[in-house]
Structures are given as structure tokens and as C-alpha cells.
Amino acid sequence: MIKKLFLCAIACITFTTATADEGMWLPSLIKERIKDMRKKGFKLNVDDIYSDKKASLKDAVVQFGGGCTGEFVSPEGLLLTNHHCGYSSIQKLSSVEHDYLTFGYWAKSRKEELPVPGLTVSLLVKMEDVTARLAAGEKKEDIIDEAIKQGKGYRASIEPMYYGNQQYLFVYCTYRDVRLVGAPPSSIGKFGGDTDNWIWPRHTGDFSVFRVYADANNEPAEYSEENVPYRPKRHFKVSTKGIEEGDFTMIYGFPGNTQEYITSSAVAYTQFHSNPMKIELRTKRLDIISEAQAKDAATRIAYAAKHANIANGWKKWQGESLGLEKLGTIGNKIGYETQFIRWVKDKPEYASLLDSMNVAYSNNTEGYFIRELFNESIGGIEIFNFALQLYNKAKTEDKVTADEQAEIRRKSLRGYRAGIDHSIARCMIDEFVKRMPKEKIPQELLIAIEEHGSAEALADNLFATTKLIKKYPLTKEEIMNDSFVKFAEWFIPIIEQNRQYAYRNLSNVPAIEKWYQPYMQALREWDKERAFYPDANFTLRVAYGKIAGYENADGEYHTFLTTLDGIMAKDNPKIYDYNIPQVLRNIYDKKDYGRWAIENNGKKTIPVCFLANNHTSGGNSGSPVINGKGELVGINFDRTWRSTMSDIEFDPTICRNISVDIRFVLFVMDRLGGASYLLEEMGIK
């Protein structure tokens, strides 16, 4: 009883104060927040943020390459985003002779701007609440078709908000001629690498520069020499004035996936089942990869991107689980649900909702877990994925041509090291078997393990007998009879089963998700104090708050700004991630900062990164950080790892997003890139 009261007390605090700086708001509804924004220092108006009639800041924000955000900073389509967002494009354009990833790149004229095949940038034309239109009988496809017809390069989609209680139409215009203008060397753009990823203090110059090109009518076109720089309706004015603790900040971008309204059972799944399993399996994979990387420089490079990808989630989930635990999210949610149950008692339409949800969770959790387990274990074996794709092709077609094989090979075995994969297979087959419910393990796998004596011995045998690595091209017979292809075949039933669980989160599995629609409706009826905002779903959002440090541990305050002095303290030519360019050392030695010098704690230095308490998520990378006057002061690129639980519960005292200070971006362009002409283009004199 006491415990329950206690939980309730926490819940009341956490949830009913509609916490200050929490929330990712729909731009078209920003009028509901504008009073609060102004109180906190925002000086512009509602239609400066969003308007589908006149130019507004939304016209200066783009979805970059599918998963990131970018922003226009000149009238001629100059675009900023993160280095890690431009990474694959920069990699694509790089070769051994022109290693732009390592050394950076700066186009000295428009002619030297490098087209990136396949890279797109999407601008939001408009968004519209179409809930009523759909309810009145209009068809989704008709609404979308009509929207697409309005302009060249248009695409549209209807996205659910609040688990389908509302439906929004988003119309985008997609530009396909996007060119690389500049990028710092990785020793700036990726400074700190995976070691510093999700960490504060941070010193990464995580930015890259692109330009969008259009046809003569300013409309989207495929790449052509004839194309001209796109003229955005609006671009950001860049502020070199800097930021202070407490200053208003706003993030405008495309966050991907949050689950603020899930029940305590769903949080428990993440915290106690999903995250620990994924973390443990990735620890093992990363250990194997790191060990091989430490032994050989070429392997370090070949596996750098793979390592970074695996480590990014691995570290994030650790922070998330810790954050959930520290915040007591499960307890908070139980408290909240207890109050909710009291409220629904005399409301038959909602009375059994939570029970139904719990039943749906218990019916679907195992299936979802198996999918996650399979992906993280067997799915982590590179040659398994290669074998599976070959199998799928060979099964349906008479033959798999050499070209087709080469294509599959290129995609799934890039920079492949059989030794690493072999060690991973030994470990992952074993982990899969140990962690799966016994009766769900493929019989063929169990028999093979029995035959060979252990999972490891089975892996050894597979690697000893497979032709997939050594021979190319293979005949159809060779493919179908290959030991690894046979191995892959054993998992087909599991893979097919898993399809029904292929949703972003457990709570989005339809059998569960359907209950969230009435649940959200009930919550909004009941909890009048709470400021509801729809979960992130890669649609455009506004988050606002302020520049702020935080108390990381008892007596350990993390200040909001890092500087060049911190880079120099980390600088170490022997450690790959901390080996800065010599020019930067020279500039530091001479304190030759010129116009970029600031004074920080009585010291002359250069600003690098800063913290704010904006509610952001994956997808917000590259988002503009905007001051009270609507000017660009930074580019968002990360959160501190302990704040990653903000995807589930936001805590304003601890949750911080990390941005690169625009002054550092300009300093690097100017002094390391020699690209002062870009500064001029941005209107910086």
C-alpha cells in the first residue's frame, strides 16, 4: 500500500506537470505552444515557424537522405547537415587517390561540387489534418493522388498520429540532384569516434555541406550539367553571436521513433528483455571485431563502419536502460495506470482497456522477442545473409547470373573478413540456441549441432565446407547444395513467422497497437493537465527548450560548452579517434584564432559543442538549432547516452541533446577548409 502511494506520488509529479521542455510538436499546431515559447525567449510568430501560404522556417528545413535532417543556409541552396549523415555519400565519392573521408573535401567552385548519385533531399510542401476527410469517406489513395498532382517531384503520405486517432497528410517535394560541397576530415567530423559517441563532454565537428540543384524553373530534376542551384523560399540566417546558458533554443527536424505513451509492461519488455539481450549479443560481436581490428590496420578500416553501426545501438540501449532504471519509469507508469484504472471504473467503454492490452502483450511478446533475437544473433552472421539472398534468388529463378551474384556479394560482403565472421558464427549460433524457447529451434539445427558435437563445431564445419566465399560465380546447383545455404534454409520458417512481428516496436504490432487508439483517446479525456504530443514518426517536429548543463553525478556538473582546449587535451597521434589534423595543432600553438576567438572562463579559445534540453531523437541528426530570433546557432547531432530514455520518458533534469556550435563549423570551413567564399555566401562578413 505504502509502495503504491509512493509510486503514485512520483507519477503525479512526473506526468501531470506536463514537463516544461518536453515534447516534439507538430509545426502546423505550433499556435498551441507559442505562448510558452515566447515566455522562454522566442521572438518570432506562429507563421514564421510554419505556413503553407508564405515562406516560413519550415521551408529552410529538409529531410536529408531518408534518415536525417538538413537546413538551407543561403539563397542558393547551400545545405548543412551532420558529417555522419553525409558519411555514406562522402564514402561513395572517395577512392584511394581521393580519400575525402580521411582528408576532407572542399569544392573551390560550383564546378567542383560533386554529384552524389542516389542522394535525395525532401522539402515539406504542406501538412494537413485529414482525419475528418477520411471519416467522411474519402479514400487515402485519392487524397494522396490528388496531392501528388499539384507539383513536379511531389510525393505524399498519410501518417497516423496518436496511434491513429488523427491522420495527417504530408506532401513533400523531392530533389534528386544533390552535390557534395565540403566535408571536414574525419579527424574533425568524427573526432572521438565511437569512444565519445553518446558522450559529453564532446568535441566532434559533426557537419558536412551539400548543395541542392534544380532545373531552370527551380523544380526537381535528375542530375544534369544544366541544373542550377535551388533557390529555397527561406534559408537560415547564421548567427556568430554565440549562446549562453539559459538561452532559448529550438530544434526543427525529423525525429524517427519515440514511445512516450506505452504501458509499464512495454517498458519492462524494453528494459528487462529486449535491451539486455541486444546489448549482450552486440558486446560479443563487438569484442570479436575490435580484437581483429586491433591486430590489423586494414581490418580496422574495413570494419570501421560496421563497428560504428553495431556500437551505436549497443551504447544507446545501455544508456536507455540505465536512464529508465534511474528515473523509475516502470514504477511511474504503474502509478499512472493505477490512477487511470480508478478513473475508468465507471466508464464501460474504457474499463477493460488495460487488461486487454496486457493480454495482447502476453500473446505477442515472445514472437517479437524471437524476431529481435534472431536478427541480433543469426542475422549478425554476414555470410548467413549472403547465403539467404542467394537462396531466395536461386529458388525462384533458373539461374543466378554472375552479375546478380556480384551485386549480392558487393552489398552483403563488403570488406568481408571470413575470420571475423567465423568467430561471430561460432558464438552467435550458440547464443541463439541457448536463448530460444527449446521447441521453437529449427529441428535441423539441433540435429546438426548434435552431429558435430557443439554449435562451435558446426560453425567450423560450415566454414570449412562452404564454397560461397572462395568461388565465384557459382552454379545454381552449387548454390543450392552449399552448406551455408542449407543452414540458411533451416531458418526460413522462423523468418516467415517473424514477418508478422516486423514492426518498429513491440507496441506497434497490430494486435497490440489497436488498443492504443482507444487508450490514447481515454488518456486525453482523463489527463487534462498533460500536454500531449504525437510520438515521433519521421514527420517534421519542433522541439524547444534552452541551453543547459546538467548534474551528471553527485557533485559533478557538466557545463554546457566545450572548446578547442578540450580537443587539445584529447589529442593523441597514437589513438586513431583522437588524432587531429596538424593544422589545428599549429593554430592552437600560436593561439592564432583571429575572428573566431571567444573568451571562456577567462581563457581565449574556440567554441566546439554545446548542450541543450531539447527533446530530440534519432532522425534529428543534422537538425538546425535555432535561437530566439530564428537564427542558426548550431547543428544537432546526438544526445548524452543517459538521456536516450527520453524516447520513452523525458526527464528535463537529465535529458540533453548535443550540437556542434555553428562558430566551430565556420571556423573549420574558414581556417581548415579555406572555404571563406562559403562564409560569404552565408552572409558572414
- Closer to ligand GLU by CB, 91 or 465: give it: 91
Stretch that binds ligand ARG, among 94-102, 193-201, 218-226, 517-525 (CB under 6 A): 193-201
Q: Taking a C-beta distance cutoff of 8 angstroms, is the pair 441, 475 a contact?
A: no
Q: Is 621 a catalytic residue?
A: yes
Which of ligand GLU, ligand ARG, none binds 646 (CB below 5-8 Å, type-dependent)? none
Chain positions 277 to 336 lying near ligand ARG, rule: CB under 6 A, are 308, 312
Stretch that binds ligand ARG, among 190-198, 417-425, 474-482, 590-598 (CB under 6 A): 190-198
d(C-alpha 246, C-alpha 560), whole Å: 10
Binding mask 25-64 for ligand ARG (x = CB under 6 A): ----------------------------------------
- Closer to ligand ARG by CB, 194 or 482: give it: 194
d(C-alpha 83, C-alpha 68), whole Å: 11
State yes or no: residue 193 binds ligand ARG (CB under 6 A).
yes
Specify the DSSP element, H or E, that contains 497: helix 492-498
Which of ligand GLU, ligand ARG, none binds 620 (CB below 5-8 Å, type-dependent)? ligand GLU
Among 21, 59, 71, 194, binds ligand ARG (CB under 6 A): 194
d(C-alpha 619, C-alpha 637), whole Å: 9
- Closer to ligand ARG by CB, 84 or 284: give it: 84
Catalytic residue among 621, 643, 646, 659, which? 621
Chain positions 598 to 657 lying near ligand ARG, rule: CB under 6 A, are 618, 621, 638
Query: Smallest distance, Å, CB 665 to ligand GLU?
Result: 17
Which of ligand GLU, ligand ARG, none binds 197 (CB below 5-8 Å, type-dependent)? ligand ARG
β-bridge partners, 249:
545
Residue 35, CA distances (Å) to 389, 395, 529 in order: 54, 61, 16
Q: What are phi and psi of 173, to 5 degrees?
A: -115, 125
Q: Which of 558, 549, 561, 636 is nearest to 605 (CA)?
A: 561
d(C-alpha 673, C-alpha 183), whole Å: 8
Q: Is 84 a catalytic residue?
A: yes
Query: Smallest distance, Å, CB 414 to ligand ARG?
Result: 17
Query: Smallest distance, Å, CB 159 to ligand ARG?
Result: 22
Query: Smallest distance, Å, CB 32 to ligand ARG?
Result: 29
Q: Taking a C-beta distance cutoff of 8 angstroms, is the pair 141, 93 a contact?
A: no
**What count of other Cβ atoms lies within 10 Å of the Cβ of residue 422?**
19
Q: Which of 550, 574, 570 is nearest to 560 (CA)?
A: 550
Give Dmax over CA atoms of the chain in angstroms: 75
Q: Is 483 a catalytic residue?
A: no
Among 33, 40, 84, 417, binds ligand ARG (CB under 6 A): 84
d(C-alpha 68, C-alpha 622), whole Å: 6
Stretch that binds ligand ARG, among 94-102, 150-158, 191-199, 496-504 (CB under 6 A): 191-199
- Report which DSSP code applies to 647: G
Query: Smallest distance, Å, CB 618 to ligand GLU?
Result: 4
d(C-alpha 363, C-alpha 361), whole Å: 5
Residue 233, CA distances (Å) to 216, 452, 472, 534 in order: 15, 66, 52, 28
Which of ligand GLU, ligand ARG, none binds 86 (CB below 5-8 Å, type-dependent)? none
Query: Smallest distance, Å, CB 197 to ligand ARG?
Result: 4
Query: Smallest distance, Å, CB 581 to ligand GLU?
Result: 23
**Is 534 in a helix, a strand, or coil?**
coil
Catalytic residue among 59, 206, 482, 661, which? 206
Q: Taking a C-beta distance cutoff of 8 angstroms, is the pair 299, 420 a contact?
A: yes
Number of shown-chain residues binding ligand ARG (CB under 6 A): 10
- Report which DSSP code applies to 547: B
Query: Smallest distance, Å, CB 100 to ligand ARG?
Result: 17
Position 431, amino acid: E
Catalytic residue among 28, 51, 59, 84, which? 84
Contacting residues toward ligand ARG, per CB under 6 A:
84, 193-194, 197-198, 308, 312, 618, 621, 638
| Residues with active-site annotation | 84, 206, 621
